[in-house]
Amino acid sequence: MTIRKTRKRTLLGASLAALLLGVTSEAVVAQDFSPAIIVNDEIITGYDIEQRRRLLEAAGGGETFTREDAIDRLVNDILRLQAARRIGITPTQQEINDGFEQLSRGQGRDPETMRQYFQSKGVSNKHLDQQMAAEVAWRDLVPRTYMPRIRISDDEVAEMMDAEKASPTEAEYLLSEIRLPVDERGEQAVLEEATALLLQLRSGATFGDIAREKSTSLSATAGGDLGWVGLSTLSPITQKIIEPMTKDRVTRPFVDGDEVVIIGVRDTRGPGNNSPASYRISQLVVGVAPNASPSVASLALQQAQSAKARVTDCASIEVLKDEYLPISGDIGELTPDQMPGPVRNAVIALPIGGISDPIRSNDGFHVIVLCDKIESGSNKLPVKVQENEVRRELTATKLGRYSAGLMRKLRREAVIERR
């Protein structure tokens, strides 16, 4: 009874403050600060859940996410932060800012513009920072905890290098991944969750955004990017599924060990392929929300077409960029695997100095100019450098397995109470 009275007084006080400040009572009621979930004595409020749901939908390009989707992500984040604090890891504000900037730049976006976009969707800076803190803490926790256990023997390195030499005609695949641990819900439930993610991809959500939000692999921080991978380095089940696939295809969810996996094949190549290693590009971007009405989107497209008519070369982009979104201008050098699929397809088809038709993204319509192509060298790396690359690859693979295993352990041991 005492609790009820306290809550009534609190709501009455909030309503009075709202009237004095000119805020509607509807806005006050919409913010539910009562406990909804308790994770190892740490509270998740209804407001936290709504903030995460909005963040997911903003990052997912207009896809719909449920309350349970938001709860699942929040629980994982709290468990990550709790595990990190137990060994003395607490991300500083500067580390959080750096992490957000790295994420933004990796998507070719200005950090401040990205924050403004999320704010326009009702996501507070505080919630963005909380989510990023969990990512930063986990990236520190996993290597600090498990690197001392990882031993990459000379035999492992030699075996991988010999496999590459023994298979000179082996195809390579430019891959991205989403990995979900088979947890206490069981294999079928996780497969159903992965199938729902696949439907989001087919509806227009980006692979990288879903990987960052959902995948438990260390590659999640890079949008699931694995880079170019030789077929022989993959698990047997993955080899069987990937081998017949062509570029710009996504697998159905499949079980690989104790994880459910979705693989995106962004490109394929043979060992003799000497395609351009990177492209220097500039852009003008006309802003429009991903869920804008057809009439608004059509108007933005017309503006982008007018922008294209004004562009003559990369130098003209620099003259015009201040009239468009802040992410307009010189992007620098990007490899194909760093570009979203539609951008990559357009850029690769352009001659140097070529200008693309408007390309739609979550930010709006992009008009892109290919300023230069930087060809890759045909010479092989020195043997010592190759060995170091192999060691890094093997280490990343083992860390990824430890990361997934630790998250399963944290979920299994957690005391989670619903109110």
Is 45 among the domain residues? yes
Domain boundary among 273, 292, 315: 273
Rounded CA-CA distance 244/126 in Å is 45
pLDDT score of 114 more than 70: yes
Q: How confident is the model over 50-101, as pLDDT tens digits?
A: 999 998 888 765 567 788 888 988 999 999 999 999 999 999 999 999 888 8
- Report phi then psi at 353, rounded to 5: 90, -5
Q: How far apart are CA 247 and CA 234, in angstroms?
A: 17
Q: How many residues make up the chain in this entry?
A: 419
The residues, any chain, with a CB within 8 Å of residue 411's CB and separated by 6 or more, are 75, 76, 79, 181, 183, 184
Q: Are 216 and 403 in contact (CB under 8 A)?
A: yes
Assess whether 66 and 122 both reside in one domain.
yes
**What 3-state class would DSSP assign to 271?**
coil
End-of-domain residue from the set 273, 295, 329:
273
Beta-carbon contacts of residue 219 (< 8 Å; ≥ 6 apart): 176, 177, 211, 225, 226, 396, 400
Which residue shows structure tokens 């909380």? 130
Residue type, 257: G
Domain contains 405: no
**Domain CATH number, residue 133:** 1.10.4030.10
Residue 370 sits in a domain whose CATH number is 3.10.50.40
Beta strand 276-287 with 225-230 is unpaired
| Angle at 116 (CA atoms; ends 63, 57), nearest 5 degrees | 10
Residues 301 and 360 in one domain: yes
**Torsion (CA) 332, 334, 340, 343 in degrees, nearest 10:** 70
Same domain as 243, residue 329: no
Statement to judge: residues 249 and 292 lie in one domain: no
Distances (CA, A) of 121 to 62, 77, 353, 354: 10, 21, 37, 35
Structure tokens at 186: 């069981």
Q: Work out the pLDDT band at 342, boundaries 50, 70, 90.
A: confident
Residue 42: pLDDT band (50, 70, 90) is very high
d(CA 294, CA 279): 32
135 and 69, same structural domain? yes
User: pLDDT band for position 163 (50/70/90)?
Assistant: low
Contact indicator for 197, 214 with CB cutoff of 8 Å:
yes
Measuring CA to CA, how many Å separate 167 from each of 273, 302, 306, 379?
15, 51, 51, 18
Q: Is residue 24 part of a domain?
A: yes
Q: What mean pLDDT, rounded, does the chain reach?
A: 80
Same domain assignment for residues 40 and 138:
yes
Q: How far, in whole angstroms, is CA 350 from its chain's centroid? A: 27
Question: Does residue 128 lie in a domain region?
Answer: yes
DSSP lists the bridge partners of residue 205 as: none
Write the pLDDT tens digit of every residue in 356-409: 999 988 778 999 999 888 765 444 545 555 677 778 878 887 887 888 888 888
Q: Quick check: is 158 in a domain?
A: no
What is the C-alpha separation between 365 and 112, in angstroms, rounded?
Answer: 19
pLDDT tens digits, one per residue of 248-299: 788 999 999 889 999 998 888 765 444 446 788 999 989 887 777 888 888 8
Is the separation of the CB atoms in 190 and 377 below 8 Å?
Answer: no
Element (H, E) at 254: strand 254-256
Q: Is residue 63 located within the same domain as residue 97?
A: yes
395 part of a folded domain: no
The verdict on 218 and 182 lying in the same domain is: yes
Cβ neighbours of residue 269 closer than 8 Å, sequence gap 6 or more? 171, 172, 174, 228, 275
- Per the structure, how many domains does the chain have? 4
In this structure, is residue 380 part of a structural domain? no
Residue among 394, 384, 339 nearest 107 (CA): 339
Range of the domain at 258: 169-273
CA–CA distance, 167 with 96 (Å, rounded to integer): 43
pTM over 0.85: no
Q: Give strand ranges (E) for 82-187.
A: 172-181
Is residue 396 a part of any domain in this protein? no
Q: What is the pLDDT of residue 205?
A: 73
Residues 6+ apart with CB under 8 A from 320: 284, 307, 310, 311, 328
Task: Calculate mean pLDDT across residues 200-205.
Answer: 74
126 lies in the same domain as 109? yes
Q: Give the Cα separation of 132 and 258 in Å (integer).
A: 27
Using the CB atoms, write b or e for 81-107: b if 16+ within 10 Å.
bbbbeeeebebeeebbeebbbebbeeb
